[in-house]
Amino acid sequence: KAGVTQTPRYLIKTRGQQVTLSCSPISGHRSVSWYQQTPGQGLQFLFEYFSETQRNKGNFPGRFSGRQFSNSRSEMNVSTLELGDSALYLCASSATQGATEAFFGQGTRLTVV
């Protein structure tokens, strides 16, 4: 069965721009979580969506937002990009909300210049 698909794999954006990242979870999975991974901070939780509703949120500014569609696909948006937003953005798919086992995609490497 197909794994978690994230697109695009790589992105280069300029400060002040906005960006949208996409995640298609494993077929049948209804929960999608987003993480930011940087060398200094490691993996940090952004938010979790289940049944098109945001269920949990991490400590990130409002520039970071997301949504989930009826087919469970999710998008994450970052507005007014800052240099510090450069990171690997990972999406994790789970069968149910709060499930301990999560399956990660390969991530989107975002570079802000």
Partner 1 sequence: QKEVEQDPGPLSVPEGAIVSLNCTYSNSAFQYFMWYRQYSRKGPELLMYTYSSGNKEDGRFTAQVDKSSKYISLFIRDSQPSDSATYLCAMARSAGNNRKLIWGLGTSLAVNP
Which residues bind to partner 1, rule: CB under 8 A?
4, 41-45, 55-56, 58, 90, 92, 97-107
- Between 41 and 77, CB nearer to partner 1: 41
Cα 77 to Cα 54: distance, rounded to the nearest angstrom: 14
Report in angstroms how near the CB of residue 109 gets to partner 1 at its nearest.
Answer: 9
Spatial neighbors of 28 by CB under 8 A, at least 6 apart, are 95
List 93's β-bridge partners, or say none.
32, 103
Report in angstroms how near the CB of residue 15 gets to partner 1 at its nearest.
Answer: 25
- Between 22 and 104, CB nearer to partner 1: 104
Report in angstroms how near the CB of residue 95 gets to partner 1 at its nearest.
Answer: 13
Cβ contact 112:81 at 8 Å: yes
- Between 42 and 84, CB nearer to partner 1: 42
Distances (CA, A) of 46 to 1, 32, 53: 27, 11, 14
